[in-house]
């Protein structure tokens, strides 16, 4: 059997007395999109925040390409090729697209000064690759951009730095139909390039269109793991609600 | 029609419309005061004094911009500068031997070290212990004013060494005509070089270039402003002589501080992170930025600037006085806010804050020339603060 790109084993996380994650194990392979499903409070976000370095797990281990890694901060996650696109997008709205794409990883000259020209050049390139439409200027504050354009900038930030693993939290929640289609195209393209993608969404329709495999969570545990082709939306809905695999 | 052309002008020269509006307001203020004082306001002597008066508050505003951009406030700067000013006097007069060349440099070094320590102390409580900056620096306001008094039990310490006094301006504290022109020429060369370099760089990366007339206009304005400044400073003679004063040393300190702080804010990672954190603290944290260290460093910088301002104040008074800098925090915060820095964080400019400081100081200076009672001056300054921030609110709504 192939080594998974990501394997999270027996992850445990507690907030005070509340158990948020109880012995959770998930895997993700190259070129695979795994949909993470579940109600609010099922533990999807907590799991994903542990992988992206926003939280630290209380127990369990994370393997990238079969090798155990330690992820204590967003910086550690990025060093392991894990990029996260948060539902809130985590953009500094007062800054321009260039500053946001390179936030925390700026290109500097040999004297340590920001090399804005080089960063502007690279940003224009990566946004062109994403086929972002109608972007007035990469130097305008991102607060002046549309929802889809802001989403593109968050995606551009992840792919510019050669992510291996992409975590997308509700990527289409705030988007119109056209923009949703654009995000879907981007996901297909990244899949072809061999990235592994965790997709978190409430919208079963989106998930069925994009994901190869589904992992369903309830009450801090994994209650089901199946290939999208083998189940119907009704089966999955039942799993989310009852927490039992389909008969 | 005029609105459109002003916007085009701003786009072509790269000057913020807000800064243009503030410069316009400053010119109006100057002309009004000048006509009511029969030309006294715009006399070289008064402008020279105005420049010296602005330097202390100006130096502090450059740091306060970063503090406010990171969604914090520093109410302690007046007390900190008072305590450090007093400390410098004690070190120079009571501890180090008089009339040795290394007395003044060592005094300055000690004062800056204390500034770093105080900044780190306040920054630690704010960044690592999550006590709101309003509270920490309000406490700092009380603590360091008390410390300034306790160092000498309220006694004034004087006199300072002669070369230390130069830092405050005073009778001999300016660099004369030749060096003023030398520095002015250097500044002009630097401005022109940067415009050319920026055109080349944009050309190399194939970005849209600014129109040539825009760059020519920007360059022309800079050359004009620098020349006018040097001419004015040289037009004021040392009292009782024909020797031109030239640029005062405290004003040079202010200019140097502005250049350093602008460079930090615009061209370093640290500066970029300050603005990113102000715009969205969570985004900055998730981008892997050590946000606690960032906030700590901002307060360390504020501490260093308070030390510089304290040295300057003690040099100007030629004494360590325990009340030095009382209420300075309010002038500094007012200047920063008038200069367009948002108290909500994420937006602000050092150039705007300096203009704000010049506007505030001009109002104060002009009202003194007019002989307005100080109670009336306070009423005017307070009203201007509200009006300026209201204008800023309207401006932001239009731009958004």
Per residue in A205-221, pLDDT (tens digit) is 888 989 999 999 999 99
Looking at residue B150, what is its pLDDT?
Answer: 96
A94 interface with B at CB cutoff 8 Å? yes
Task: Measure the CA–CA gap between A35 and A224, rounded to whole angstroms.
Answer: 12
Task: Measure the CA–CA gap between B52 and B46, rounded to whole angstroms.
Answer: 10
Looking at residue B356, what is its pLDDT?
Answer: 95
Looking at residue B362, what is its pLDDT?
Answer: 96
Q: Is residue B164 part of a domain?
A: yes
Q: CA nearest B347 in A: which residue? A: A94
B173 interface with A at CB cutoff 8 Å? no
Closest to B265 in 3D by CA, of B355, B348, B356, B358: B348
- Residue A33's DSSP bridge partners are A197
Task: Measure the CA–CA gap between B84 and B90, rounded to whole angstroms.
Answer: 10
Which residues on chain A are in Cβ contact (under 8 Å) with B269?
106, 108, 112, 114
A110 interface with B at CB cutoff 8 Å? no
Alpha-carbon dihedral sign for residues B353, B224, B25, A96: negative
What are the tokens at B103? Answer: 């007395």
A104 interface with B at CB cutoff 8 Å? yes
What are the tokens at B152? Answer: 């000498």
- Residue B244's DSSP bridge partners are B237
Q: Is residue B380 part of a domain?
A: yes
Looking at residue B7, what is its pLDDT?
Answer: 67
Q: Residue A34 — very low, low, confident or very high, per pLDDT cuts 50/70/90? A: very high
User: Could you tell me the strand order of the sheet in which A196-200 lies?
Assistant: A82-85, A165-169, A196-200, A33-37, A213-218, A221-227
CB contact under 8 Å between B280 and A84, yes or no, is no
CB contact under 8 Å between A86 and B346, yes or no, is no
CB contact under 8 Å between B288 and A73, yes or no, is yes
Which residues touch A145 (CB under 8 Å, ≥6 apart)? A97, A135, A153
Task: Measure the CA–CA gap between A106 and A229, rounded to whole angstroms.
Answer: 42
Q: What is the pLDDT of residues B293-316, one digit of tens each?
A: 999 999 999 999 999 999 999 999
- Using CB atoms, pick whichever of A74, A86, A95 lies closest to residue B279: A95
- Pair (B380, B254) in one structural domain: yes
Q: Which segments of A38-189 are extended strands (E)?
A: 59-64, 67-69, 82-85, 165-169
B275 interface with A at CB cutoff 8 Å? yes
- Pair (B69, B122) in one structural domain: yes
Strands A213-218 and A33-37: parallel
Q: CA nearest A138 in B: which residue? A: B207
CATH number, domain with residue B305: 1.10.3470
| Average pLDDT for chain B | 93
CB contact under 8 Å between A92 and B275, yes or no, is yes
Average pLDDT for residues B84-110, to the nearest whole number?
Answer: 97
Which domain-ending residue is among B224, B247, B270?
B247
Which residues touch B129 (CB under 8 Å, ≥6 apart)? none
What are the tokens at B373? Answer: 């009672």
CB contact under 8 Å between A94 and B286, yes or no, is no
DSSP letters along B303-369, please? HHHHHHHHHHHHHHHTSB-TTTTTTHHHHHHHHHHHTT--TTSS---HHHHHHHHHHHHHHHHHHHH
What are the tokens at A146? Answer: 């549309």
- Pair (B243, B192) in one structural domain: yes
Task: Measure the CA–CA gap between A68 and A8, rounded to whole angstroms.
Answer: 10
| Share of residues in chain B with pLDDT > 70 (%) | 96
Which residue range is the domain that position B242 belongs to?
Answer: 174-247
Shortest Cα distance from B256 to chain A (angstroms)?
19
Q: Is residue B110 part of a domain?
A: yes
B130 interface with A at CB cutoff 8 Å? no
Which residues on chain A are in Cβ contact (under 8 Å) with B207?
117, 120
Q: Is the pLDDT of residue B400 over 70?
A: no
What are the tokens at B55? Answer: 């330097």
Q: Is residue B45 part of a domain?
A: yes
Return the axis-axis angle of helices B103-127 and B77-90, rounded to nearest 10°.
150
Task: Measure the CA–CA gap between A174 and A180, rounded to whole angstroms.
Answer: 9
Which residue intervals of B205-267 are DSSP H helices?
212-235, 249-267
Shortest Cα distance from A66 to chain B (angstroms)?
25
The region, left, alpha or beta by phi > 0 then psi within -120 to 50, assigned to residue B206 is: left
3-class secondary-structure state, position A191? helix
What are the tokens at A21? Answer: 């994650």
Task: Measure the CA–CA gap between B313 and B300, rounded to whole angstroms.
Answer: 20
Which domain-ending residue is among B223, B247, B271?
B247
Q: Is the pLDDT of residue B1 over 50?
A: no
Which domain-ending residue is among B197, B212, B247?
B247
- Residue A169's DSSP bridge partners are A200
DSSP label of A2: P
Task: Measure the CA–CA gap between A134 and A145, rounded to whole angstroms.
Answer: 10
B220-227's contacts with Cβ under 8 Å and 24+ in sequence apart are B221/B13, B222/B188, B222/B191, B223/B188, B223/B191, B223/B192, B226/B184, B226/B187, B226/B188, B226/B191, B227/B184, B227/B188
Other CB atoms within a 10 A radius of the CB of residue B179 amount to 13
Count of structural domains within chain B: 2
Cβ-in-10-Å burial (0-12, 13-18, 19+) of B180 comes to buried
- Pair (B266, B352) in one structural domain: yes
Shortest Cα distance from A103 to chain B (angstroms)?
6
Q: CA nearest A88 in B: which residue? A: B283
Among A144-148, B162-166, B246-250, B295-299, which stretch is predicted with the lowest mean pLDDT? A144-148
Shortest Cα distance from B17 to chain A (angstroms)?
16
Task: Measure the CA–CA gap between B247 and B236, rounded to whole angstroms.
Answer: 10
Looking at residue A119, what is its pLDDT?
Answer: 94
- Pair (B270, B226) in one structural domain: no
Backbone Cα Rg of chain B: 22
Looking at residue A136, what is its pLDDT?
Answer: 75
Contact A178, A98 (CB under 8 A): no
- Using CB atoms, pick whichever of B268, B275, B286 lies closest to residue A95: B275
CB contact under 8 Å between A103 and B282, yes or no, is no
Task: Measure the CA–CA gap between B39 and A120, rounded to whole angstroms.
Answer: 50
Contact B48, B337 (CB under 8 A): no
- Pair (B255, B386) in one structural domain: yes
What are the tokens at B382? Answer: 């307070």
Q: Is residue B138 part of a domain?
A: yes
CB contact under 8 Å between A113 and B284, yes or no, is no
Q: Is the pLDDT of residue B73 over 90?
A: yes
DSSP label of A134: S
Torsion angle, CA of B177/B178/B179/B181, rounded to 10 degrees? Answer: 80
B97 interface with A at CB cutoff 8 Å? no
Q: Residue B3 — very low, low, confident or very high, per pLDDT cuts 50/70/90? A: low
Closest to B324 in 3D by CA, of B338, B307, B336: B307
Q: Is residue B290 part of a domain?
A: yes
CB pairs under 8 A between A and B: 76
Task: Measure the CA–CA gap between B88 and B95, rounded to whole angstroms.
Answer: 10
Using CA atoms, how far residue B253 sits from A10, B236, B258, B333, in Å, is: 60, 19, 9, 20
Q: What is the pLDDT of residues B322-360, one digit of tens each?
A: 999 999 999 999 999 999 998 888 999 999 999 999 999
Looking at residue B2, what is its pLDDT?
Answer: 54
- Pair (B303, B382) in one structural domain: yes
3-class secondary-structure state, position A217? strand
CB contact under 8 Å between A117 and B287, yes or no, is no
B272 interface with A at CB cutoff 8 Å? yes
Shortest Cα distance from B193 to chain A (angstroms)?
18
What are the tokens at B210? Answer: 């600014």
Task: Measure the CA–CA gap between B200 and B250, rounded to whole angstroms.
Answer: 36
Q: Is the pLDDT of residue A233 over 80?
A: yes
- Using CB atoms, pick whichever of B202, B279, B288 lies closest to residue A104: B288
Contact B169, B245 (CB under 8 A): no
Task: Measure the CA–CA gap between B367 and A21, rounded to whole angstroms.
Answer: 67
Average pLDDT for residues A21-48, to the nearest whole number?
Answer: 92
Q: CA nearest B286 in A: which residue? A: A74
Q: What is the pLDDT of residues B210-237, one digit of tens each?
A: 788 888 998 999 999 999 999 999 999 9
Q: Residue B6 — very low, low, confident or very high, per pLDDT cuts 50/70/90? A: low
pTM score of the predicted model: 0.92
- Using CB atoms, pick whichever of B268, B282, B283 lies closest to residue A113: B268
Shortest Cα distance from B201 to chain A (angstroms)?
8
Strands A165-169 and A196-200: parallel
- Using CB atoms, pick whichever of A91, A104, A114 lies closest to residue B280: A91
- Using CB atoms, pick whichever of A78, A99, A114 lies closest to residue B276: A99
Q: Is residue B7 part of a domain?
A: no
- Pair (B288, B369) in one structural domain: yes
Contact A92, A103 (CB under 8 A): yes
Q: Is residue B3 part of a domain?
A: no
- Pair (B187, B329) in one structural domain: no
A93 interface with B at CB cutoff 8 Å? yes
Average pLDDT for residues A82-100, to the nearest whole number?
Answer: 92
Selected residue of A56, A94, A111 to mutate for chain B interface (largest B Cβ count, 10 A): A94
- Pair (B116, B252) in one structural domain: yes
- Pair (B199, B313) in one structural domain: no
- Pair (B160, B178) in one structural domain: no
CB contact under 8 Å between B207 and A73, yes or no, is no
Task: Measure the CA–CA gap between B295 and B128, rounded to whole angstroms.
Answer: 9
């Amino acid at each position: 059997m192939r080594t998974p790109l990501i394997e999270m084993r027996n992850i445990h996380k507690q907030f005070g007395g509340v158990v948020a994650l109880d012995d959770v194990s998930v895997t993700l392979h190259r070129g695979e999109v795994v949909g993470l499903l579940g109600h609010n409070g099922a533990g999807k976000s907590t799991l994903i925040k542990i992988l992206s370095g926003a939280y630290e797990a209380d127990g369990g281990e994370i393997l990238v390409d079969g090798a155990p890694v330690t992820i204590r901060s967003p910086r550690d996650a990025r060093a392991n090729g894990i990029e996260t696109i948060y539902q809130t997008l985590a953009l500094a709205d007062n800054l321009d697209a260039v500053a946001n794409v390179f936030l925390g990883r700026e290109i500097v000259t040999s004297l340590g000064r920001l090399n804005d020209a080089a960063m502007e050049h690279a940003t224009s390139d990566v946004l062109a690759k994403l086929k972002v439409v109608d972007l007035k200027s990469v130097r305008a504050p991102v607060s002046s951009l549309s929802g889809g354009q802001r989403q593109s900038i968050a995606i551009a930030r992840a792919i510019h730095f050669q992510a291996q693993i992409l975590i997308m939290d509700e990527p289409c929640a705030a988007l119109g139909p056209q923009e949703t289609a654009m995000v879907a195209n981007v996901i297909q393209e990244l899949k072809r390039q061999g990235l592994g993608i965790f997709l978190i969404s409430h919208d079963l329709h989106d998930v069925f269109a994009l994901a190869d495999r589904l992992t369903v969570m309830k009450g801090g545990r994994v209650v089901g793991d199946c290939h999208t082709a083998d189940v119907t939306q009704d089966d999955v809905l039942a799993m989310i609600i009852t927490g039992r695999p389909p008969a | 029609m005029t609105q459109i052309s002003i916007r085009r002008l701003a786009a072509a020269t790269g000057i913020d419309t807000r800064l243009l509006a503030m410069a316009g307001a400053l010119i109006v203020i100057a002309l009004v005061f000048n006509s009511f004082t029969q030309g006294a306001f715009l006399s070289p002597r008064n402008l020279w004094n105005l420049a010296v008066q602005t330097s202390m508050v100006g130096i502090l505003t450059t740091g306060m911009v970063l503090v406010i951009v990171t969604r914090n406030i520093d109410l302690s700067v007046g007390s900190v500068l008072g305590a450090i000013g007093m400390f410098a006097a004690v070190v120079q007069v009571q501890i180090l031997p008089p009339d040795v060349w290394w007395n003044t440099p060592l005094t300055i070094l000690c004062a800056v070290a204390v500034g770093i320590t105080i900044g780190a102390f306040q920054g630690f409580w704010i960044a690592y212990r999550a006590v709101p900056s309003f509270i920490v620096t309000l406490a700092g306001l009380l603590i360091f004013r008390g410390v300034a008094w306790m160092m000498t039990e309220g006694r004034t310490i004087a006199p300072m060494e002669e070369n230390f006094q130069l830092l405050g301006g005073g009778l001999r504290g300016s660099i004369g005509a030749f060096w003023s022109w030398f520095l002015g020429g250097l500044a002009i060369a630097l401005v022109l070089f940067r415009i050319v370099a920026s055109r080349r760089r944009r050309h190399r990366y194939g970005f849209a270039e600014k129109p040539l007339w825009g760059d020519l206009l920007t360059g022309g304005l800079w050359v004009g402003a620098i020349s006018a400044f040097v001419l004015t400073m040289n037009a004021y003679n040392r009292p009782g002589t024909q020797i031109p004063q030239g640029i005062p040393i405290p004003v040079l300190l202010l200019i140097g501080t502005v250049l350093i702080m602008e460079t930090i804010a615009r061209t370093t990672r640290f500066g970029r992170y300050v603005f990113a954190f102000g715009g969205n603290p969570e985004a900055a944290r998730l981008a892997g930025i050590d946000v606690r260290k960032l906030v700590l460093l901002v307060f360390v910088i504020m501490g260093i600037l308070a030390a510089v301002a304290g040295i300057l104040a003690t040099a100007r008074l030629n004494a360590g006085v325990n009340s030095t800098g009382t209420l300075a925090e309010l002038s500094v915060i007012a200047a920063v806010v008038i200069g367009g820095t948002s108290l909500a964080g994420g937006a602000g400019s050092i150039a705007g804050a300096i203009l704000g400081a010049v506007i505030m100081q001009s109002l104060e200076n002009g009202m003194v020339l007019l002989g307005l009672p100080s109670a009336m001056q306070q009423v005017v300054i307070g009203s201007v603060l509200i009006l300026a921030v209201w204008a800023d609110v309207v401006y932001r709504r239009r731009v958004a």
